[in-house]
Structure 1
Amino acid sequence: MDNHDWMYTGRRSQNQVTREWIQKTEDFLDKAFGVGAQAATEVWCPCSECANRNRKTRKVIEEHLCKFGFTPDYTRWVCHGEGHRIRDEALRPRLEEFDSDGGVPDMMDDFHQAHFGVRCTDKTEEQEPEETARAFYRMMESAKRPLHDKTNVSQLDAIGRLMGLKSMHNMSRDCFDSMLAVFGTLLPADHALPKNMYELVKLLKALKMLYEQIHTCDNGCILFRKEHAEAKYCPKCKSSRYVEVESSDGQKKQLGIPMKVLRYLPFISRLQRLFMSEESMKHMTWHKNGIRYNPDKMVHPSDGEAWQTFDGIYANKALEARNVRVAFATDGFNPFGMMAGPYTCWPIFVIPLNLPPGVLLQRQTIFLSLIIPGHPGKHMGVFMEPLIDELISAWDHGVLTYDRATKRNFTMHVWYHYSMHDFLVYGLFNAWCVHEKFPCLVCKAALQFIRLKSGGKFSSFDKPRQFLPLDHAFKRDIKNFTKGVIVTDPEPQKMIGAEVLAQIDGLVAKEDGVGFVGYGVQHMWTHKSGLERLPYFKHLALPHNIDVMHTEKNVAEALWATLMDTDKSKDNPKARADLARLCDRPHLEMRPPRAGKTWRRPRGDYVLEKKHRMVVVQWIKDLMFPDGFTANLKRGANPSTGRVLGMKSHDFHIWIEHLLPSMVRGFVPEHVWVVLVELSYFFR
């Protein structure tokens, strides 16, 4: 790095400057207004008064430098053409366990490009960043200086490494403060390392995201916010907001500990951050400007009918490529492990759908927005209130956001596009019971399932015939489906968004306040999800999606158990008893017991014989897979017992898509094998 000591040694006062200072100041200004400035008439003023916070012309900067001198410690001209040297000159030691720089060099490059990079090519005037972006850039500017004058590691880089160590080793605050104090004594006297955790957090304040802790009713009736913010008891079930203990006089006393806490992280500010980097900003417009190399294939949600239909209805908002569509995803899990107590929490993630396919589901672009304590059940709509409120505000009013590429502010509108989850969570999000006789969330009550007398569950057996053309031969088949039944019913009509919204608005609560009138007869609505509050809900053609991974895993697990005749096989005595009532397949019906024996279950031609199962398990044991192709499939194969244990979702994924056709070839009849191959190809 060049020696820039002349900036401070050559000027003692306004009237005492050396010839070297004058000459090198002129050279500095020539460089600042040279090629790197892209013919700009104003650059950041480096005087001690402006401190690189205001843009000035060359003449004004000359006057300011003569009057005030250079801003202190400005030895790396990152605001005037030396920003690219930050990463080239900073030689940092690395720790193998984690990325020691924490992405700070990339962040500094983005900061430099946002202020001093490529200028706008049009004639529009650049704008100052909006408040949140300005605070972010101001923090970055203050943290870009070196940790001390003998190193190239920036203050922010050093803080990032130390915070990484704190998180990795779970250090307490006192331990971290002590470590900072020791490091401070080992560094030169003019170092910029914060003295304690308080100063460090204060410096990083602009990087932090908003976070709210919202108290909830213990039964999930309400959130203690808005009109209930000061309430101490739930107005519906009268349960206490705080933990109650019995005092010495026998009276109950509330402590300051809430019964339940909903943790809410607003996601709009996270979306704004995506526009503060030029690379991610370009990604946020890919859905409209990205290149489709296979235009005949749907490679992105924007290629789907639901997206394009919505764009046609709300053309004004769809015209702005920077407006953001988001998806929700959730599922429950036990944060303490499977062997811990029976506790569950439900995180809700927000995914911006503007991003290209290769970036869409990366970890850094999936934002955690809600952490619901316990199973939400019928109160999912209550817990979703803050998220829905934020969506409504972002749709109606928009959010002022700074676009780093154009150097201008714009109003960003955000709206909900769909949700992704398994079938059971589908029912929670849609507020429709999927366990009873109307489980289809598209047709609603227009499609009624049958209840299996022996199995005790509702089944869609023989219902797909309704969706076939009226002249299809299967509709008149009385042998291979429900015996003696000819299907004459037309295809059920799918309910559109306006019809669903009208039905929800027409729900009448029961007198006892539990459920709605007509439940189980006319509808299966269990609660209101909150999504119906969205102004555009009735125009969402596909508001919910079933996750392919869960569907594939469930189908593959049931199919494996049936083929291999394990304890979890769907071909059990109860299924055979129901088959005898519904179908004309006497060769599969249960055989009466002989003397001293139990009922016999004839083997179906879709079940592998025992000797074939042993061959299959040995074949799996001998298979050679590429590294990382599958996890425990080979390891769990036990030829002596004819079982494959420990199969996970990825194992079932590999099995049904790649191994199934070869595994059963020659062991099942040709017509069964063809169906299995078509199923495998469908998932692939």
Structure 2
Amino acid sequence: MSEIMASKAGVPESGRRAHIVLLRPAKSADSKNASKRVEMDRSWITTTKIGDPKYDAGVMQFIKFALENNSEGRDKFPCPCYMCHNLMHHKVDVILSHLRKWEFDITYTCWYRHGEKMGGTSGQQGHTDEGDSLEDMMDQLHEEVDDDPHVLEELLTDSEKPLYKDSKYSKLSAIVKLYNVKVGHSVTDECFSAFLKLFKDILPPDNVLHGATYRAKKMLCTTDLNYEKIHAFPNDCILYKDEYESLKNCPQCNVSRYKKKEGVPAKVLWYFPIISRFKRMYSNSEDAKRLTWHKFGREKEDGILRHPADSPQWRFIYAEFSDFGKEERNLRLGLSTDGMNPYSSISSTYSIWPVMLVAYNLPPSLCLKRKYIMLSMLISGPKQPGNDIDVYLTPLIDDLKLLWEKGVEVFDASRNEMINLRPMLFCTIQDYPAYSNLSGHTVKGRCACPICEDGWEGRWLSPSKKTVYYDHRPFLPEDHEYRKLKKAFTGEQNFESRPSVSTGEEVFEKVKNIQITFGKLKKNKGALPKQGYKKCSVFWRLPYWRFLFVRHSLDVMHIEKNVFDSLIGTLLNMPGKTKDGLNARSDLEELDIRKELHIVEETGKRKYLPPAAYTLSKKEKIELCTSLAGVKVPEGYSSNISSLVSVENTKLVGLKSHDCHVLMEDFLPIAIRSILPKNVRYEIIRLCFFFKSIYSKAIKTKDLDSLEIEIAVILCQLEMYFPPAFFDIMIHLPVHLVREIRFCGPVHMRAQWAFERQMKTYKGYAC
């Protein structure tokens, strides 16, 4: 078979191997001797436990080896216990203490981080030198581009051609190294082109370095992971795939799949098959080891949530699907999608939707890093898919369903063996409008809360022309004193119980028979309810989806931003953002509550709004803005806060999500410490501290009940002072955040921060 593959590539097998071996530096006698020296029995790593004499002897053998190979004279070494996972460096006595407390990392059988040469034992994987990296890449490409021998031949030629006479770099290796620097430091294409031109001019005249980013990308594009270009109907009715692949017109609307020019698709879905992404992750020995962190590297059960692996939903997966859970290398994935405009704010109508995946098997410090965020598909614009996103998600769901049922053979480079890999979707992460698109539940109107569903209904206020979610007393304990109050709330006592949350199986029973026709031009005439679930989401095709406690996560990043905008807008009475005004006071009259705040009509038809507890004078507004404008923070901590505050106009402008996050949790409690009545000030500060608490990287499970009661009490106390118009759906959603922490772990692992940063990177490719 290898000879046939080589003949297709146009290179004899022996010649191809010799060609690649030229890239590998010859091993010296010392390295060969080193390989012999380290051949020793390491079975104790996987077969013994702490306290076993063989384990203790093996640990001392490891310490002796690390000290003997300490050519740099270091006093600290990477610690190989399953807690540190070689990521933390300690002195020898600390490492011994760790290895007597926590087990040795069973995936670390090649001690390359402690001086062992790569390739010295049978368990060693990967190579550190440039030649070995290129050989691995070429070997992998030989399999992936077998159908196009000219591509492989061109790459082989570039890997042999020296950058210039007597250069230690080849044309291919130089471009690979330079492009890694470009990507690692987020260098723009324009800047990279300027550097290439300068380097080409500095190098000897006979150099073959490319002088433009475009040509470098064209050279490297053959090494990229494959993708599938699927034509889509312009109005999102269908994908031209499977039985529709040969059609030229949409079977529903009879509109052509092409633009005016034949052969140019009107709309395209770029699908990046996830199987090849998973294979590449496990082909790297370091990444393959990290993907078992959730099993061997995290803290034992101690009642603290640090990672989704500590959560009940993770443990439930182990118990409910034991054949899946017993293989620690099976992946638990998070899916995120949101729209972005890649062509700057000038073309504000264009929207493109990337769909990204992350692996929760990794440590908390790595799983949301850019390196491990996988782009699975790109839904092109110019219009957002909206409710028709199911049409575009179908290829991804088909693959996830197939992989769950059958799995895929993947080579685990860390253990030098083949495994049958089965990934599953742990949850989705999106902002609130996209929540509706993915779940199928409406997020507007009377029943806009997808967790409470019809158990918690909003109330339409005619003066404000909006639905509000007022009176959160049902979320309080049954014997709480606020339930008996009348005047402070709606004028009535409230002893209603907390709305029950439907299980996944109950939700599936509601939606399984909903039939809709996708597409912008098709109308489901009166067949769908105006509230609640309006479609059976494509995610229900996954066999395990109905058993998950939390399927679609509420995005705390956008919730916090909306809460802060409403709060600061009302305090500063910012036009267009304040929740107070004539309409809000008219709402009080309609509800017949807080008569002291009703509109007072003076002579001459002037209307006077009596000051409320949250009303600030002009002097107090200036004091608040001056306090925020004087904030100075370390570089990288946040934006320049002073540039966001207009003291003269007493308002905040241009706030981004992270600005609201920093202001809400750190600076607003300080800025209002002396300008509001004590009762109002305390409740705002408690709200700020609530968000700070749930953002903690480690949360004690015993504190969750008190946090859940705390947010309900805070909202009830805010209802005593702020008008009903203040309490839109975004003010209501925080009551459910603690529930999601309880089931799925810390919120910072399910927030949009990392994905928003990644979309900025994608946007840079287009600008």
State TM-score, norm by structure 1.
0.74
The AA in structure 1 aligned to 2:235 is N
Alignment counterpart, residue 186 of structure 1, candidates 206, 216, 222: 206
Q: Do 2:227 and 2:272's aligned partners in 1 also have CA atoms closer than 8 Å?
A: yes
Aligned match of 2:482 in 474, 478, 483? 474
User: What does 1:224-623 correspond to in 2, within 5 Å?
Assistant: 224-244=240-260, 255-292=262-299, 295-373=302-380, 374-462=383-471, 464-483=472-491, 485-509=492-516, 514-515=523-524, 519-520=528-529, 523-567=531-575, 568-592=577-601, 594-623=602-631
Report the equivalent of 1:214: 230
Q: What are the Cα deviations for residues 364-388 of structure 1, in whole angstroms up to 9, with x where unaligned?
A: 1111112112301110111111111
Contact 2:432 2:554 in 1 (8 A): yes
1:497 positional shift: 0.8
Deviation at 1:151, TM superposition (A): 3.1
Q: What is the aligned length?
A: 566
Distance, in Å, in 2 between the alignment partners of 1:540 and 1:348 is 21
Measured in 2, the distance between the counterparts of 1:180 and 1:492 equals 68
In structure 2, stretches of 5+ residues that fail to align are 1-25, 43-70, 72-111, 125-135, 144-151, 693-767
Q: Secondary structure at the match of 2:226?
A: coil
Q: How far is the alpha carbon of 1:203 from its aligned partner?
A: 8.3
Relative to 1, partners in 2 of residues 1:290 and 1:26: Cα closer, same or farther, differing over 3 Å?
A: closer
Q: Deviations over 1:468-495 (max 9, x none)?
A: 3333333332222112x33343322211
CA shift digits 1:614-638 (9 cap, x unpaired): 1222223333322233313212333
The residue number in structure 1 matching 2:119 is 116
The one-letter code sitting in structure 2 at the alignment partner of 1:147 is P
Cα distance in 1 for partners of 2:663, 2:554 equals 21
1:35 aligns to what? 37
Letter in structure 2 aligned against 1:228: Y
Whether the 8 Å contact between 1:147 and 1:158 is mirrored in structure 2 is: no
How far off is 1:241 after superposition?
Answer: 0.7
- Tell me the SS of whatever aligns to 2:276: helix
User: How far apart are 1:438 and its partner, in Å?
Assistant: 1.3
Show the counterpart of 1:157.
173
Q: CA deviation at 1:403?
A: 1.0
- Give the corresponding residue for 1:147: 162
Residue of 661, 680, 685 corresponding to 1:653: 661
Task: Tell me, yes or no, if the aligned pair for 2:411 and 2:418 is still in contact at 8 Å.
Answer: yes
Q: 1:461 to 1:627 in 2, by over 3 A?
A: same
Per-residue Cα deviation, 1:20-77 (whole angstroms, up to 9, x for no partner): xxxx99979964972366699xxxxxxxxxxxxxxxxxxxxxxxxxxxxxxxxxxxxx
Higher relative contact order (CA 8 A, sep 6+): 2
8 A Cα contact 1:33 1:39, kept in partner: no
Aligned-residue offset at 1:153? 2.6
- Secondary structure at the aligned position of 1:351 is classed as strand
Deviations 1:622-662, CA, capped at 9 Å, x for gaps: 33322233313212333333333333222221211111222
Q: Which runs of 5+ in 1 are unaligned?
A: 1-23, 41-83, 85-108, 122-130, 245-253
**Distance across 2 between alignment mates of 1:445 and 1:209:** 45
Contact (CA 8 Å) 2:387, 2:438: kept in 1 or not? no
* Deviation digits for residues 317-369 of structure 1 (CA, Å, limit 9, x no counterpart): 11111100111112112111112251111111111111111001111111111
Q: 1:681 and 2:689 equivalent? A: yes
- 1:196-245 Cα deviation digits (max 9, x unpaired): 9999999867732011111111110100001100011111122211113x
Q: 8 Å contact 2:269–2:378 — kept in the other structure?
A: yes
Structure 2 SS opposite 1:502: helix
1:263, distance to aligned residue in structure 2 (A): 1.2
CA apart distance, 1:551: 1.1
Contact 2:638 2:659 in 1 (8 A): yes
Q: Which amino acid aligns with 2:162?
A: L
Greater mean deviation of Cα atoms: 138-147 or 210-219: 138-147
The yes-or-no answer on 1:135 pairing with 2:121 is no
Q: CA deviation at 1:675?
A: 0.6
Contact between 2:192 and 2:213, CA under 8 Å: does it hold in 1?
no
Equivalent residues of 2:35, 2:121 under 8 A apart: no
Aligned-partner SS, 1:311: helix
Cα distance in structure 1, aligned partners of 2:582 and 2:252 = 47
Match of 1:663 among 666, 671, 674: 671
Structure label with greater radius of gyration: 1
Q: Taking every aligned residue pair, what percent have the same amino acid on both sides?
A: 28
In structure 1, how many angstroms separate the alpha carbons of the residues matched to 2:192 and 2:657?
37
CA distance in 2 between counterparts of 1:650 and 1:163 reads: 30
Aligned residues of 1:510 and 1:517 also touching (Cα < 8 A): no
Give the letter aligned to residue 419 of structure 2: F
Structure 1 pair 171/226, CA: closer, same or farther in 2 (3 Å)? farther
Q: Deviations over 1:63-120 (max 9, x none)?
A: xxxxxxxxxxxxxxxxxxxxx9xxxxxxxxxxxxxxxxxxxxxxxx99xx99825433
| TM superposition shift of 1:443 | 2.8
